[in-house]
Structure 1
Amino acid sequence: AALSVVNQATNLGFTYDAIGNLKTRKDYQLSASETFDYDDLNRLEVVTTSLAGGTGPLKTEVHYDALGNIKYKSDVGSYGYNGSCNGVTAGPHAVTNTTGNQNAKYCYDKNGNMVSGSGKKIRYTSFDKPDLIDSGIAKTEFVYGPDRARIRRIDSKPNQSLTTYYMGGIYEKVHDSNGQIKHKHYIADVAVVTQTEGESTTKENYLHKDHLGSVVAITDSTGNVIERASYDPWGKKRLTSWRPAPDYTALASNITTRGFTGHENLDAVGLIHMNGRVYDQNLGRFLSADPFIQNPYNSQSLNRYT
């Protein structure tokens, strides 16, 4: 008997070079593909995206300096470093301006944390984790426990707010400004069971992931796909057709905040909380320096914002 697939969630293919760099990825459902080219230090240099119907290709190019800093990214523009702002000179690896497709200035505190840029203002705790991110349109606030892990998150917009309480990575209690309360139970990073107070039934949803652990599809208890997601190589959300989104911050899931590499999307402010640090998927950079140097014998590891 033949095995048939009903309501296929994903159908992805990947190829790698001899040293493990991803060379191609394909979405057979979309008839879309991407190829990746690298420089001599195995840094991603060119991404070529071919879309369904033979349209495209779309190309993104990235150039680096000797320190591993991005000098140019074609969807953003040129990156500048070593600038000063409010009397503080940023370190050699901290981007201080972009010019081209996106013109912005970035400021840092004396600990090397980005405190403003591209319309955002960021405030930090004494242990250098953000507790307030203000985009001017929306705010996201965090409260941390004694182990410095998140225990509460508040997302607010005019006339709208959402408060999330965390228990490790397995449970979330979510209050909205209308008084609705949801209990979300995560099961081994593959499923989320949601109980809404006042309702007699629960909702089971399953998280389908790609090679990086990014959530690319969500199914219900009967296997029907109810949401899809897609990301560029730097984690920026895009349309499920793989085309760039006019506003990637508007592509929020109704089921889970988990997205690129399984980490928590801060959709309202356009960032990703990766637990230790917050990541800007548009710049392809972290907002603060890594406190650890993974490989001190590799000069590229000295760049602690990547």
Structure 2
Amino acid sequence: MIDAFSFVATNRFSSHTDSVKGPRSLSYDARGNVTALGGLGFTYDASNQPVAAYGAVTGTYVYDGHKRRVKQVVSGETRYSVYDVSGGLVGVDQVGAGPTEYIRASGMTLARVAGASVTWLHPDHLGSAVAGTGTTGAVVWRESEQPFGEDWVSAAANDNQAGYTGHIEDAATGLVYMQAR
């Protein structure tokens, strides 16, 4: 895969082309927030946090006082997120699908508990979950990412779960939510 990047005089990306997604242009507001990326558009609050994403799928977002995303609504589906003191994701409640809890230690996500199902997560050196095993030790799924988080091999069993560097991909944008603008 070969990527091509174009920049404007202010050292911002103006376009990006790759062999998978093709060409995508970027636009920015006066505060440096990306307002358009290919077919996606974004709006931001006064803290520069994205509060809406629109394109093929629409998403809205709500943040807590620490600027962590605590609620998102994507295509009518609502998801609430809960964090520990260090900012690590410890729980997700997808309305209608029930809660998912994450077991963390030493800054890493070690397991995912959804109902009676426990999946042990096996991270690489970046903290990206590259495999999940069940309680018997059998491999449930495997996946791997390219250097910037795009999937080489994606496991449907790990969709919308802790993935690249232990963070979750946003269903509305396809971007990885890393608790930063």
TM (norm. structure 1) is: 0.51
Do the aligned partners of 1:142 and 1:154 also contact (CA within 8 Å) in 2?
yes
Query: SS state of the match for residue 136, structure 2?
Result: coil
Shift of 1:174: 1.8
CA offset at residue 256 of structure 1? 5.5
**Over alpha carbons, which structure has the higher Rg?**
1
Q: CA deviation at 1:209?
A: 0.9
Structure 2 counterpart of 1:150, one-letter code: R
* Shift, 1:96, TM fit: 1.0
Answering whether residue 109 of structure 2 is matched by residue 109 of structure 1, we say no
Counterpart-to-counterpart distance in 2, 1:100 and 1:239: 17
Deviation at 1:255, TM superposition (A): 6.8
Pairs within 5 Å for 1:236-255: 236-239=150-153, 252-254=156-158
| Aligned residue number for residue 12 of structure 2 | 94
Letter in 2 for 1:172: G
Residues in 2 aligned to 1:233 and 1:222: alpha-carbon distance in whole angstroms: 31
Cα offset, 1:155, TM superposition? 2.3
Q: Could you tell me which residue of structure 2 aligns to residue 140 of structure 1?
A: 59
Residue 220 of structure 1 deviates from its aligned partner by 0.9
1:144 to 1:252, Cα distance in 2 relative to 1, 3 A = farther
2:82 to 163, 166, 181: 166
Structure number with the higher strand fraction is: 2
The answer on whether the counterparts of 1:252 and 1:267 sit within 8 Å (CA) in structure 2 is: no
The answer on whether the counterparts of 2:67 and 2:179 sit within 8 Å (CA) in structure 1 is no
Residue in structure 1 matched with residue 69 of structure 2 by the alignment: 150
Q: Which amino acid aligns with 2:35?
A: V
Tell me the residue number matched to 1:57. Answer: none
Asked if residue 184 in structure 1 is aligned to residue 88 in structure 2, the reply is no
Matched, 1:227 2:153: no
User: Deviations 1:207-248 (Å, cap 9, x if unpaired)?
Assistant: 1011111110011111111111111122111226xxxxxxxx
Q: Secondary structure at the match of 1:104?
A: strand
3-state DSSP of counterpart to 1:261 = helix
Cα separation, partners in 2 of 1:100 and 1:172, compared to 1, 3 Å: closer
Shift of 1:139: 2.4
Distance 2:102 2:124 in 1: 22
Between the aligned partners of 2:111 and 2:101, the Cα distance in structure 1 is: 10
| Rounded Cα–Cα distance in structure 2 between residues aligned with 1:151 and 1:170 | 10
Root-mean-square deviation (Å)? 2.3
Instruction: Give the 3 Å change call, closer, same or farther, for CA 149–257 of structure 1 in structure 2.
Output: same
Partner residue of 1:296? Answer: none
CA offsets, 1:27-53, max 9 Å, x none? Answer: xxxxxxxxxxxxxxxxxxxxxxxxxxx
User: 2-side partners of 1:220 and 1:184: how far apart?
Assistant: 15
Deviation at 1:93, TM superposition (A): 2.1
State, as a whole percentage, how many aligned pairs show the same letter.
Answer: 27
